[in-house]
Structure 1
Amino acid sequence: MAITRVNDIRPEMLRWAIQRAGSNEEKAVKAVPALKGWLSGEKKPTVIQLQQFADKFHVPFGYLFLREVPEETIPIPMFRGEAAQSEHFDLNVYDTVMGVRRRQDWLEEYLEENGIDTCRLVETVSLKTPVGETVSLLREALRLEPRWAFSLASAEAAVSMLTRQMEYEGIFLVYNGVVGNNTHRPLKVSECRGFALASKTAPYIFVNSADSKSAQLFTLIHEAAHLMLGVSAGHAGEETVSHDVVEMYCDKVAAEFLVPAIELRNVWNGDIRYVSRRFKVSEIVVARRAHDLGMLPDRDYRAFWLEYRKRPVAKKEGSGGDFYLTSVKRVGRLFAIHVRNAVNSRQLSYTEAYNLTGLHGNTYQHFMTNNI
C-alpha cells in the first residue's frame, strides 16, 4: 500500500506550532525525531504523522496547511504582576478561556430559549459606586454576613460555601488546574489564577485549583466584582498591588468583603497569622489590609513583605482524589444540571453533551447519575 505524504506543509508553520505550544525546536525534535527532516525540507510527513504532531502540540490539524500564521490572542485581558498586560501568549490559558466561552455560548442560547432565570448581579455597579455599597450588594445576594467565615474550619470550607452561594445566585463556576482533563497540560498559577467572563445571561468565573485555598477565596470575590462591573478579565502571577483602575476596584471589593474594616479593627492584635486564620484569607491580604487601614506601620509591613516573599509558593495539596468529585468542579455543578436537563428534554445530543463536559460514554452517565 502506497504511503501518502503531505507535500504542501511549510516548515514555518511547524515552527509556529512548536513555539505556540511553548516549546522549542530542540525539545520538539527529541519528542518527534522525524521532525528534523520536515523542518529542513528533506523529508515530508505522512498524514498520520502530521496528525500525531498536531495532537502532540495541541494545534488544530487544519492550521498546519495555512499559508500564513494565524493571529491568536487571549480574548480577555490577563493581568500579571503589576497589572501589566503581558504580550506573552500561553496556549494552556488560551485553550482554557476558549473552552469556558464555548460553554457560555451554549448556555446563553439554552437559558434564553427556555426562559430560565439568570443572575441579577451582572452590571449592577460602576467604578463610581462606593466599594462599601458594592460589597453590601454582594453580601446581600450571597446571603452572607460580615463574619460569615469566622465559624468555618478552614479556607477550603470557605471556598465551598462561597461556591454554593454563588451558584444559587446563578453564577457558573469552574475549578481546574489543567486544560480540560489533560493532566499533562498543567495551568500555571503564574499564567492564570482565575478569570471572569461577564454575561447577563450566563456569567462565568474560572478559578485555578492549583492555587492555594486562601488565594482561591480572594479570586472568587475579585472575579465576582468583575461580573458586577460587567468587565471580563483575568489575573495571574504574584499577589501584588495593581495599577489598573478596574483591577484596583475589584481588589478593594475583595478586601472589604473578605476582611471588613470594622471586623478587622475588632479582632486585630498584631498577630497576622492568627488574624488570617479568623478570616480564612492569606497572611499577605491581612497585612496589606491592616497597613492600608493604618493599623500596621510602614516599617512592620515592609519587614513582613520581605519575609513573605521568601516563602515557597503555597499550593493545593496534590492533584489526586476521586475523579468524579474532581469532575464536578471541572464541569461545574450548575452547568452540569443544565446539560443533563437539556439532554433529557432532547434539546442537546449526547455527542454535544460529551463535547461540552469533556466526559464521554459510561463516564458521562456515571457522572450525571451519581454526582449531579
Structure 2
Amino acid sequence: MAEVAISPDVLEWARERAGIPFDMLAKRFKRYPSWIDGRGSPTFQQLETLSSVLHLPMGMFFLPEPPEEKLPLPDFRRISEPEVQRPSTELIDTIHICQRRQRWYRDYLAGSGSETLQFVSSAEVGDQPAVVAGHIRTTLKLEVGSRNEAANWEEFLRRFISLARDAGILVMINGVVGMSTAE
C-alpha cells in the first residue's frame, strides 16, 4: 500500500497531545519509530487507525507543522498546583461538543423568538461572590440549606438541575469522558 506523507513533528505532537507513551504507540504501530525518524510514513489505513487512537481528526496529520492549540475556556482545575496538567483529549472533545450544543441552542432560541433571560449578563467580574451567589439562588429559587434537606448529593443534584432547567438554563450532563469517569 502507498504511504501517506505526514510531518514527523505533527505525528509526535499528536502522540504527546493524546498523552500516549512512545513505547505504547510503537508497540501498536511497529513502524512508528521510523515514521518519527522520517524514514517512512503510515499507509492511509494506518493513519485512519492512528487518528482514532490519538483522538485527532485525520486532516490534522496533513498540517505542515503542529498547531498551537488553545483550550476553549479557562482551566480552573487544580488551581493550587503550580503545574496544571493538560486536559485529556476526551475532555477537550467533550467541551467542544458542549459548546456546539450551546451555540445550536442559542440559535434555536433566537430563531423561535425567545427573549433573553433577565439574569444573562447580570453579574460582572468585580461583583462580590456572595452577592452573585445570592442572585443565583434567588433566580433558581434555591433556598439556603436546601442541600441539607436532600437525602444525598445525587438527590440534591437532580433538584438543582431541575431548578436550573425551570429557570430556562440549558443543562448538559456528561458523567463519562471517553471511556473514563476519572475526568
**1:40 and 1:149 mapped to 2: Cα distance?**
58
Which runs of at least 4 in structure 1 moved beyond 6 Å after TM superposition? none
Partners of 1:93 and 1:187 within 8 A in 2:
no
| Seq. identity, % | 29
Which one scores higher on RCO, CA 8 angstroms, separation ≥ 6? 2
Matched, 1:4 2:2: yes
Name the one with the larger strand percent.
1
**2:83 and 2:122 mapped to 1: Cα distance?**
26
**1:5 and 1:96 mapped to 2: Cα distance?**
32
- After TM superposition, the score normalised by the length of structure 1 is 0.45
Q: Between Structure 1 and Structure 2, how many residues are aligned?
A: 182
Matched, 1:71 2:68: yes
Matched, 1:30 2:27: yes
Q: Render the CA deviation track for 1:300-335: whole Å, top value 9, x for unaligned.
A: xxxxxxxxxxxxxxxxxxxxxxxxxxxxxxxxxxxx
Matched, 1:106 2:97: no
Partners of 2:3 and 2:42 within 8 A in 1:
yes
Deviation of 1:85 (Å): 8.1
Corresponding residue number in structure 1 for 2:92: 94
Corresponding residue number in structure 2 for 1:171: 169
**1:146 and 1:42 mapped to 2: Cα distance?**
65
**1:93 and 1:115 mapped to 2: Cα distance?**
33
Q: In structure 2, do the counterparts of structure 1 residues 160 and 114 end up closer, same or farther at CA, with 3 Å as the change threshold?
A: same
Query: 1:1-150 maps to which residues of 2 (within 5 A)?
Result: 3-6=1-4, 8-79=5-76, 80-82=78-80, 86=84, 88=86, 90-150=88-148
**1:146 and 1:73 mapped to 2: Cα distance?**
38
Unaligned runs of 5+ in 2: none
Q: In structure 2, do the counterparts of structure 1 residues 77 and 83 end up closer, same or farther at CA, with 3 Å as the change threshold?
A: farther
Letter in 2 for 1:110: Y
Query: 1:266-305 maps to which residues of 2 (within 5 A)?
Result: none
Deviation of 1:87 (Å): 7.0
> SS at 1:33's partner residue?
coil
Q: Render the CA deviation track for 1:215-252: whole Å, top value 9, x for unaligned.
A: xxxxxxxxxxxxxxxxxxxxxxxxxxxxxxxxxxxxxx
Partners of 1:73 and 1:89 within 8 A in 2:
no
Letter in 2 for 1:48: Q
**1:69 and 1:116 mapped to 2: Cα distance?**
42
- After TM superposition, the score normalised by the length of structure 2 is 0.85
Unaligned runs of 5+ in 1: 190-372
Partners of 2:7 and 2:65 within 8 A in 1:
no
Q: In structure 2, do the counterparts of structure 1 residues 177 and 31 end up closer, same or farther at CA, with 3 Å as the change threshold?
A: farther
Q: In structure 2, do the counterparts of structure 1 residues 89 and 162 end up closer, same or farther at CA, with 3 Å as the change threshold?
A: closer
